[in-house]
Structure 1
Amino acid sequence: MPASPRLARESGERSESRPRYSSLQARSGGAATTEQEQPIDWFITSLLFLFPAFGGLLFGYDIGATSGAIVSLKSAATSGTTWYELSPLQSGLAVSSGLLGALAGSGGAFAFGEKLGRRRELLLAAACYGIATLVTASAGSYPQLLAGRTLYGLGIGFAMHAAPAYIAETTPARVRGLLISLKEGFIVVGILLGYLASSQFIDSVGGWRYMYGLSLLPAILLGAGMLWLPESPRWLLLSGASEEEATANCCRARGQYGRDEGAVRSDVSDMASTMQASRSSTEEAGFSALFKGRNLRPLTIGMSLMLFQQITGQPSVLYYATEIFEKAGFASQSDASKVSVGLGFFKLVMTGLAVLTVDSWGRRPLLLLGVSLLTVALAALSAVNTFLPASSPTATWTSVVALLLYVGAYQASFGPISWLMVGEVFPLAVRGPAAALASLTNFGSNFLVSLVLPTVQDSLGLGTTYAVFAGIGIVSLITIYNIVPETRGKTLEEIEALWDKDQ
């Protein structure tokens, strides 16, 4: 049947306004693009990853260090303050103020992150981290402690928004998955370093000051590195900079292989063509364009992965980890920090598995397999806590196996790949605000789960709580199967071309 005049006209308009999209779509299923064929200068590529990844390491370090810092701060023997007698509410605020700051940072990234650019936003994160470290470590009062913790959280919000986008936009397509996933590994390394710092200074007077103060060095490295690295060429084009400026920064990002200016100019031209088409459709509808047409599906993918990452039971499972290991005879209550370190190493190993396979197996298979296994683990924990006596060896060992299965499956799927997808699925014209909304979803749902989880567990019981999480796991699995495409090996422009069919 011939197409209607209206459809034919709209199709022709799209072809004229986006002449390169059809070629990108064709090349994504056929020959590799110039960017994919470009040799990799591993030295500069490593730096393009390493310095932004310090933002994730500092996020993880805060999680690990705070676990020991609060214990140190509240002890009359080790606090070194006159205000160590903190109420449960004050202790909770000291911990959660960082998360509230991260929420505020994500909101700030949504409001003006696109004006700042990836590089300057990471510099702002480094400044927040550094100043907050000094404020917190020197805190002479509880309000100063809260101010430092909140400012540190602002740094987390800015860093976790800008780092995935910067890495995705500046590194070669065929190692993009490896590098963004490895950033999650840096978060886990940060958690481990925080645990180790806690165990080192837990018995020292004022030890909490050292635990927090040690984050100053990576904050300085983050700032110094981002001062030296180039700005994202894709953001430069989006901000209205010339193709010449974008080409110069792209050449720097490719190191010794950026000397072939002709090849780089060709790639920058493709970036510019894609950006112009994407931006023109977004500017017509403003903010509402995020929720329409070609932008809706990637936004749904990013926000749903961030949501499911937080509401599939991770806080509940890890909360009872030490208790499960105690019952199995692996540790006494006094060895809780050792259990945390051991579990942290296991998380790191499983994250490493995802990092090594994400560009060979693909994002979608790892997500589907990992979420399936963590759902099975949640169902097993539910069954154990519902049908078996808590003291029985069968219940104890089943819980240990289910716990390890859950942690391993999570770290090989939701842990790294959710942030990876946030870094690569959004169209360039809306990447900044869309990534900020995804970050807000992550930190907001994290805060809400942490807030209501004790009440839910008290009301429903542990078995029913795990059953609810298993049900959410099934919903997330169905969602991933239906809306998440495979993006392995595609340039950001080729990924953006996938959304044209949603118009």
Structure 2
Amino acid sequence: MAAPEGQAHTSVTVQAVAERSEDEAAALLDPSSSGSGPGGAPEKPPVDWVMTGLAFLFPALGGLLFGYDIGATSGALVSITSATTSGTDWYNLTSFQSGAVVSSSLLGALLGSAAAFVVGDKLGRKRELLLAAVLYGAAAILMYSAPSLAILLAGRATYGVGIGFAMHAAPAYIAETSPASARGLLISLKELLIVAGILSGYLTSYLFVDDVGGWRNMYGLSLLPAIALSIGMAWLPDSPRWLLLSGAGRDRAAAALTRARGKYGDDKAAVDAEISGMIRSAEESASQSGSMSLFQKRNLRPLSIGMSLMLFQQITGQPSVLYYAAKIFTDAGFSGGKDATGVSVILGIVKFLMTGVAVLTVDSWGRRPLLLTGVTGMTLALMALGGSQFASLGGLATWVSLIALLVYVGCYQVSFGPISWLMVGEVFPLAVRGQASALATLTNFGSNFGVSLVLPSVQENFGIANTYLAFAVISLVALGTIYAIVPETKGKTLEEIEALWSEEDKGE
């Protein structure tokens, strides 16, 4: 990619900056970072946490709305299929129709991800998120007012397309606008916002599950955060990196970065240094990219790591179990309505707390230990879930199922939940990162859609016990795959991780 017009540097210092990485450049030119850190190392540039927080929060609402749909659908499925609370004459859904209610949003997310792969870079991160907000809002209105199953499914699919655009653009916007020193924390917190959405969906389900037509309120309330998302993204600046890639020019990118840095944006030298690093990175990426380079030998291992983590994240059953949580608790022996959705709230709280554990420990314990420990716990919990259905435990089976399910959720949330997305952002080489990440996202939503669609039919035909045991076998395969191919990336820069694949390629 050619450098935007006006890029010529006016001093030897800035020329030197352009040949360094973004972080080195910022350290070189930021006066506040000169040699006062521990051991004489430069201090990290200061962060305006108010502006940085807003630039994180509004895009992260796109993820929160994804999580909300998972939690709300758990209760909505109970409400819709009850003759007492449905408020419709089409409440008697078949297993396939129940699966369609859940999976239609995932099909939409799959289509949205594919569309984002084609037009995402043309729209830009900001406009993608604005489009997602419009789709979320329109879908909320459709679902709330749905007079038939067909209209409800159309609303669910529309919501899903919004999910696809939001989950493609939000991580990129957060990464591309946040200061380097805050980027790891914010990417981890993004998963916490998704879990907060799931918990809020469970709480909403608990409040409305016994009301006639309560499912309409569960889905309709998503309109409020959708409006907040649209207002926030209209106010925030464009991603400066996207502006450079789109050819908008250095001046517009610098203006966007100045806004993103808040009260520290008036440090022109630091902004200029960061922009220079962005330009060099964009030029190097453009010179090495290409559709076929994704499948070159040196990229096969990182590609297999990212795609396998996205696949196992879904086919070990966790996301689908969350969609059907209230129904699963009803089948396990809890009375329907308030009791089942109340237990779902407890499940959401456990999920939220364990995500916090992962956020606090991922940089000290490491990615690989969390994955191996968490997936081992998932496997054992799934075996206990399946075994409790076979054993003659009477009423005790209900409590064994509850404890095992909470352990399963907790172990997932310190492993596949946050770590899979984090490693997808780390393992792909720069030249293919965009394409590889899109392929991993498509794998994620495609497998999520497939599992959610067939899960009710599988449970009906093979029984819930055999379903849990099948997930346990898949988890065991996932454990072996992680042990064999996933390295530890804790404490490594993206360049050091990329060097691992180059060394392996040379070694062969």
TM range (shorter): 0.7 to 0.9
Task: Return 5+ residue gaps in structure 2 as ranges.
Answer: 1-17, 28-37
Is 402-411 or 196-205 further displaced after alignment?
A: 196-205
2:135 partner SS: helix
Question: Deviation of residue 445 (structure 1)?
Answer: 0.8
Secondary structure of 2:265's counterpart equals: helix
Structure 1 residue aligned with 2:31 = none
1:116–1:452 CA distance, 2 compared to 1 (3 A): same
What pairs with 1:102-501 in structure 2 (closer than 5 Å)?
A: 102-282=109-289, 286-293=290-297, 295-314=299-318, 331-333=334-336, 335-381=339-385, 388-391=391-394, 393=396, 399-454=401-456, 465-488=467-490, 499-501=501-503
- TM-score w.r.t. length of structure 2: 0.81
Pick closer, same or farther for the CA change 1:74–1:311 going to 2, 3 Å: closer
Gapped runs of 5+ residues in structure 1? 1-17
1:354 deviates by 1.3
Q: 1:407 is aligned with what amino acid?
A: V
* Matched AA of 1:67: S
Distance 2:59 2:441 in 1: 16
Letter in 1 for 2:345: V
CA distance in structure 1 between the aligned counterparts of 2:182 and 2:301, rounded to whole angstroms:
24
Secondary structure class of the residue paired with 1:259: coil
Aligned-pair Cα RMSD in Å:
3.6
The one-letter amino acid paired with 1:420 is L
Separation of aligned partners in 2, 1:82 and 1:397: 35
CA distance in 1, matches of 2:86, 2:320: 29
Distance 1:462 1:473, change over 3 A: same
Which is further off, 106-115 or 253-262? Answer: 253-262
Over 3 Å counting, the alpha-carbon distance change for 1:385 and 1:86 in structure 2 is closer
Name the stretch that deviates more: 411-420 or 125-134.
Answer: 411-420
Contact 2:55 2:174 (8 Å CA) reproduced: yes
How far 1:58 moved relative to its partner?
Answer: 0.9
Structure 1 residues 151 and 325, CA gap change in structure 2 (3 angstroms): closer
Q: Offset of 1:310 from its aligned partner?
A: 0.8
Q: What is the deviation of 1:54? A: 0.7
Aligned equivalents of 1:311, 1:259: Cα separation in 2: 49
Note if 1:98 corresponds to 2:100.
Answer: no
Contact 2:71/2:322, CA 8 A, preserved across alignment:
no
Correspondence for 1:10: none
The answer (yes or no) to whether the contact 1:306–1:441 under 8 Å persists in 2 is yes
- Aligned-partner residue type, residue 306 of structure 2: G
Amino acid of the structure 2 residue aligned with 1:44:
M
Structure 2 CA distance for aligned equivalents of residues 458 and 301 of structure 1? 33
Cα deviation for residue 408 of structure 1 reads 0.9
Assess if the C-alpha contact under 8 Å between 2:78 and 2:327 holds in 1.
no
Matched-pair identity in %: 65
Q: Cα distance, 1:38 vs. partner?
A: 1.9
Amino acid at match of 1:403: L
Q: For 1:351-403, what per-residue CA distance to the aligned partner results, in whole angstroms no more than 9, with x for missing partners?
A: 111122234434333223322332333344455566x434385x666554433
Aligned residue for 1:40, secondary structure, equals coil
Q: 1:238 to 1:489 in 2, by over 3 A?
A: farther
Q: Give CA deviations for 1:151-178 in whole Å, capped at 9, x if unaligned.
A: 1110011111211222222223343333
Length, aligned pairs only: 474
State the 1:123 CA deviation.
1.1
Q: Cα–Cα, structure 1 residues 103 and 264, in superposed 2: closer, same or farther, change >3 Å?
A: same
Q: Deviations over 1:323-351 (max 9, x none)?
A: 9978999x544511111111111111111
